[in-house]
Structure 1
Amino acid sequence: MHNNTEHLASSAANQPLTHDDIRNFTMPDNSLEDKIILITGAGAGIGRVAALTYARYGATVLLLGRTSSKLEAVYDEIEGLGGKQPAILPMDLEHANYSEMQQLEGLIRKEFGRLDGILHNAGILGELTPLEMYDVDLFAKVMKINTTATFMLTQALLPLVKEAPNGSIVFTSSSVGTHPRAFWGAYALSKQAVEGMSDIFTQETEKTTNLRFNCINPGGTRTNMRAHAFPGEDPKSLKTPEDIMPGYVCLMSDDSIGVRGQVVALQPKV
């Protein structure tokens, strides 16, 4: 399996790039200069911080999310930081159809000419309950947002990313995706499927394109989703989204050329 490989060959530097290298990446100011990167779930949490960080390091960010007001706030933050003008792409991944995603590909092609990267960050937790009691409609919703829509959007935008010199697509997994756990239900299954999706895309493209697919497992991070999953936990005991951004920048930067089919845990258990 691709995701069991800890030492990775980087064709860019001809040096082995380990998961530690990715986690502890030193971010030069021009790490993402001139890259165009789409981020799903960009209105809050890790997605918002990733958008601000990518803009800080030179990228033009395309903000995709369900709530326009949240995307507009991130847009204003980026402009306030002096970043390149972002774009707002409102889309409800639960209800969006494939035709809308194909139209998005056409819009990005027309307005920007290319797409260098996608960060699939959007996701919902669902509920923590035994599978035998899991509400089937909620199960379908979690799978649609976390897995099916992620696949549909990747496929729709793939022609554009394949045209980039060194395209990078980063999925978001979880510890319960790598090792499914009781009571995590649809969320764990959706993330397990995402890891498999990244692996299959890698196998199908690694010999014919420069495009690379990887997963990030952010670990326990101070977000609203984490608070819902662990209501009794002290949020101050957790890393902030800002703390884990080196890994997010690394996998979008040309420093990670050659890193493919990996599941990188940003907070591995010691």
Structure 2
Amino acid sequence: MNAPSQQEKSRIVLVTGASRGIGRAAALAFARAGAHVVALARTQGALEDLDDEIRALRPDDDSPATLVPLDLRDHAALDRLGEALYRRWGRLDALVGNAGVLGTLSPLHHVDPKEWDDVLAVNVTANWRLIRSLDPLLRASAAGRAAFITSGVASRADLRAYWGPYAMSKAALDAIARTYAAETLNTSNVRVMLVNPGPLRTLMRAKAMPGEDPQTLRPPHDLAPKIVEICSPDWTETGKLYDFPTDSLLSFRAPAPL
């Protein structure tokens, strides 16, 4: 592996849902690239395990990571997070909006209202609150980047009956990210991308597909280097979808005329 460039070493990267799965793999990949990782997750113990692993990767670095034990449903805390990052660094170089919840797979008319609200709060509202809180910090970066983890079900809900809350929330996240990309395109150096990981060997996938052999799936660390690339200063695309299963960059299309 090539040594991290000085530019990579100086980057401050926030990863949500960093304690497991895609978020953990991304946090470790950013640490290997030399970035300072701000790792956000609900579970203090899992974050401390991640911190131990990052420190093992960077034994000569006194402070390779900052741990943020926080529930994304605590939206006021997300506002305070932006203020804390501003006071410490005055900028944020990359945001990886990875954290998400599946909810219970169920017919729409059986979905519990509280669970509906929870899926919305984590998958949709929290990402908007993060943008609201962190946008000034991303704009203060010489190359602010944001990558949000979406799902193929966002555009193909017709193939996933009973996934209503999750599919709806990811479709809403797509719209949020594309709107943010349009708003930052000509007014900043911020670039915004969506990432579809496809089926990976994660706990969420196991919950959604309990009969599936996880060993037939690619692990999250296969995707992580691409997330690092998308969040690098060299990445210039914005408002597009990176599809990991096909390793392709996709543009969103307008609906066909009636």
- Scaled by the length of structure 1, what TM-score is found? 0.85
Alignment of 1:96-115 (within 5 A): 96-98=74-76, 100-115=77-92
Q: Alignment partner for residue 210 of structure 2, among 216, 231, 236? A: 231
Alpha-carbon distance in 1 for matches of 2:245, 2:37? 25
- The match for 1:30 is 4
| Larger mean Cα displacement after TM superposition, 27-36 or 192-201 | 27-36
Q: Distance in 2 between matches of 1:199 and 1:97?
A: 22
Unaligned runs of 5+ in 2: 249-258
Q: Using the alignment, how far apart are the partners of 1:174 and 1:261 within structure 2?
A: 15
- Which residues of 2 match residues 143-162 of structure 1 at below 5 A? 143-162=120-139
**C-alpha displacement at 1:118, in angstroms?**
0.5
Secondary structure in 2 matching 1:92 = coil
**1:97 Cα deviation (Å)?**
2.6
Q: Does 1:265 align with 2:239?
A: no
CA displacement, residues 218-253 of structure 1 (integer Å, 9 cap, x when unaligned): 110001000000011111100001111232111011
Measure the CA separation in 2 of the matches of 1:70 and 1:230.
24
For residue 171 of structure 1, what is the aligned residue in structure 2?
148
Identity value in percent: 39
Give the distance between the partners of 1:261 and 1:29, measured in 2 at CA.
30
Answer yes or no: is the 8 Å Cα contact 1:127–1:185 preserved in 2. no
Answering whether residue 197 of structure 2 is matched by residue 197 of structure 1, we say: no
4+ residue runs over 6 A deviation = none
Which residue does 2:251 correspond to in 1?
none
**Partner amino acid for 1:138?**
E
Q: Which residue of 1 aligns with 2:116?
A: 139
Note closer, same or farther for the CA distance 1:206–1:253 as it changes in structure 2 (3 Å cut): same
Query: How far apart in 2 are the matches of 1:269 and 1:86?
Result: 29
Aligned length: 241
Which letter does structure 1 place at the counterpart of 2:46?
A: K
Offset of residue 204 of structure 1: 1.4
Distance between the aligned counterparts of 1:143 and 1:128, measured in 2? Answer: 15
- Say if 2:97 is the partner of 1:120: yes
Shift of 1:110: 1.8
Q: Which amino acid aligns with 2:107?
A: P
Distance 1:112 1:205 in 2: 21
Output aligned runs, 1:63-82, within 5 Å.
63-82=39-58
- Name the aligned partner's letter for residue 178 of structure 2: D
Please name the residue that 1:18 is paired with: none
Unaligned runs of 5+ in 1: 1-26
SS in 2 for 1:170: strand
Please state how far the C-alpha of 1:134 moved relative to its aligned partner.
Answer: 1.2
Distance 2:234 2:223 in 1: 17
**What residue number does 1:49 align with?**
25
State how far apart, in whole Å, the 2-side matches of 1:131 and 1:29 are: 50
